[in-house]
Amino acid sequence: MILALDKRFIGQTFPSTTFAVDKEMIKRYCKAVEEFDPAFKEGEVSPPTFASCFLIPSMMGAMSELSNLIDPSLIARIVHGEQEYEFCRPIKPGMYTLEGRIADITEKMARSGMLDIIILETTAKNEKGEISIIGRATILVRRP
């Protein structure tokens, strides 16, 4: 039997990583979500949810860290249940530092069974060290 996620991991931080944003990346994202607003056309600034482009790699990184913390058999039972962004400054081409931490771990009884709920918080800072985006991903782990 696999036990619930250990609440000791609340507050655990992950090694910070960097993420380079360039104009082409922004243009590719706009094309993918068919965002044709002229403000984003040249890729000099990005639409708010472009944040997902660095959230996903950051979540992957956190997941591989988590795999050291939780039973590997649970990794396949993970669902991205919810996402929140606080948009503090627009993301423009440049270098960003991503800092990830486990903001919370709770559990909940759902229709499908017991769920462990992990809140992964990622803060993206620009080259000046100013917070650009705070992302909170709610990760659901279905208990076997």
Partner 1 sequence: MGKETYFEDVYVGFEIPQFVVGPLTKEQIKNYAEAAGDPNPIHVDEDFAKMSGYRTVIAHGLMTMAYVSRMLTKWLPNYTQLRRLKTRFTKVAYPGDILTCKGKVTQKYVKEDGNYVELEVWSENQDGETVAKGSATVVLPSRHEK
Binding site for partner 1 (CB under 8 A): 25, 28-29, 31-35, 37, 39, 47-49, 52-53, 55-57, 60, 80-87, 90, 136, 138
Q: How far apart are CA 144 and CA 133, in angstroms?
A: 34
Cβ atoms 101, 13 nearer than 8 A: yes
Closest separation in Å from C-beta 101 to partner 1: 18
- Looking at beta carbons only, is 6 or 60 nearer to partner 1? 60
- Looking at beta carbons only, is 12 or 83 nearer to partner 1? 83
Cβ atoms 26, 48 nearer than 8 A: no
Q: What's the Cα-to-Cα distance from 57 to each of 18, 132, 141, rounded to whole Å?
A: 11, 17, 19
User: In residues, how long is the chain?
Assistant: 144
Closest separation in Å from C-beta 75 to partner 1: 12
- Looking at beta carbons only, is 1 or 116 nearer to partner 1? 116
Rg of the chain taking only CA atoms, in angstroms = 17
Amino acid at 82: E
Closest separation in Å from C-beta 8 to partner 1: 27
**3 state DSSP class of 70:** coil
Closest separation in Å from C-beta 45 to partner 1: 8
- Looking at beta carbons only, is 6 or 87 nearer to partner 1? 87
